[in-house]
Amino acid sequence: MIIGGRRASLLLFMGDLAAFALSLYLTLWLRYGFPPSAATLAPYVAPFTLLFALWLLVFYSAGLYGKRLALFVSRVPDAVIKTQVANIILAALFFFLVPAFGIAPKTILVLYLVVSLALILLWRIALYPRVSLPRSRDRAVLVASGPEADELYQEVNSNNRYGIKFVARASGAALNDRTLFLSELENARPTLVVADSKHPAVAPLASVIDHVTRIERCYQLASFEDLYEEVFDRIPLSKLGQVWFLEHVSAADSLAHTVVKRIIDILGAIAMAVVTILLSPLVALANALERPGPLFITQERFGRYGVPFKAYKFRSMEKNLSASGEWTHEGENRVTKVGAFLRRTSLDEFPQFLNVLAGELSLVGPRSDILGLGRRLAEALPYYEARYLVLPGITGWAQINQQYEPGNASPQSIEETKTRLAYDFYYLKHRSLGLDILIALRTVKRMFFRMSTW
């Protein structure tokens, strides 16, 4: 239904792979001045096959197969250029560190960067939008009410790369008048009805919608909640209730999922420990030159089931004021220059390897809250404490998806926290090892590429 799903990702993947292969052929042609023969290509096949696999993984972790990038083509050039430059640097390191292939293609790598950038941009900007654009969009009627319905209606109708278009919306009198509703459906001539049947304002039409979609089969039926999740990658908070949590969150994770996730956490914590040990002397020196103070800080935070624990971080502010539970604005002067760099690269989080080894944190999960702030949010937002049903994480679905005001790296208001909560509950509903791997890869992208989230 929506361009940017699995089919679109597979299409982008195959196009990128073809661009990589064709770029190698054209690069060798330019380098030697004649079309390369099988003998000329032979020494490059094995190493570049490995590089293609690595580059596609980097593309994936950089979000280049994400739905939002497929929908907003204007973001492609900056993302592709940064990522492919990084790929060429990886290739140079590869040939330097793995001399067994017997080639050191310095000139070829420079040529390849230019050629591959041209081909990938041509593919993604000129060709992909043409071959992926829906030939026709399903005509849909939205039967829903409230701000989230308004948000979905505007988002879908503002971009022709979605596979549907809302041609009408049942609201007002039509929600209470069966005859008027059926008349509006007939006039709109939709193929799809997107209904929020559980909404109190829509409930009177539930039997009518069921009749025309399931019994008479005049129209296809789609769930408002499912479509909202597919478009925004978060849960519509208005749908939350005890039944929702029983259906989607109450079930325990499988033993295999728990064991594998724990093994990954331990391996990741060991890698973080190595980085922390190597980085500590440099951070200590930089802090001493800028503003003397402790190298590390501890914060009382909520863990799984609301059990408090002490989190360890590199100090990034002049004082540890965030432990008070007040909103901590990233742009204020309390953040040191060294701290700003640590936060921008997420290196301030690395000492939390101790918490991961202790089982108080996971690498991936909803972000833990400082005690004071967590209590305030629990009082202000219904079901807020349900995010503590799983082990909190150093990175998570909200961190890689939500965009904040410039200079901020966390919510700074109740409204921003509501959005974070919607992402957190999406993670709780869909949590899996595959989703954890996706979050981890995109976190690496945020650390090293510093591109916008799509």
pLDDT in tens, 151-202: 999 999 988 778 889 998 887 666 777 788 888 888 888 889 998 887 888 8
pLDDT of residue 163: 80
- Which of 136-145, 242-251, 421-430 has the largest mean confidence? 421-430
pLDDT of residue 340: 85
- How far is residue 288's CA from residue 282's CA, in Å, rounded to a whole number? 10
Span between the terminal Cα atoms of the chain, in Å: 19
Mean pLDDT across the stretch 331-335?
57
Q: Which CATH class is domain 138-232?
A: alpha beta
Matching residue, tokens 């679905």:
397
Beta bridge partners of 362: 393
Structure-derived torsion over alpha carbons of residues 395, 397, 403, 408, reported in degrees to the nearest 10: -20
Specify the range with the lowest mean pLDDT, choosing from 290-299, 422-431, 445-454: 445-454
User: For the residues of 430-446, what is the DSSP string, one character each?
Assistant: H--HHHHHHHHHHHHHH
Nearest to 368 by CA among 355, 350, 381: 355
pLDDT of residue 26: 94
Burial class (CB in 10 A: 0-12, 13-18, 19+), 318: middle
pLDDT of residue 454: 37
- pLDDT above 70 for 405: no
Of the pLDDT bands very low, low, confident and very high (cuts 50, 70, 90), residue 6 is low
pLDDT in tens, 10-24: 888 899 999 999 999
148 or 93, which is more confident? 148
- Reported as half-sphere exposure (CB side, CA atoms, 13 A), residue 409 has a value of 21
Query: What residue ranges of the chain are covered by domains with CATH 3.40.50.2300?
Result: 138-232
- The Cα-based distances of 300 to 32, 235, 304 in angstroms read 63, 28, 13
Mean of the per-residue pLDDT values for the chain?
A: 83
Contacts of 389 by beta carbon, 8 Å cutoff, 6+ apart: 249, 304, 305, 428
- How far is residue 430's CA from residue 442's CA, in Å, rounded to a whole number? 17
pLDDT of residue 282: 94
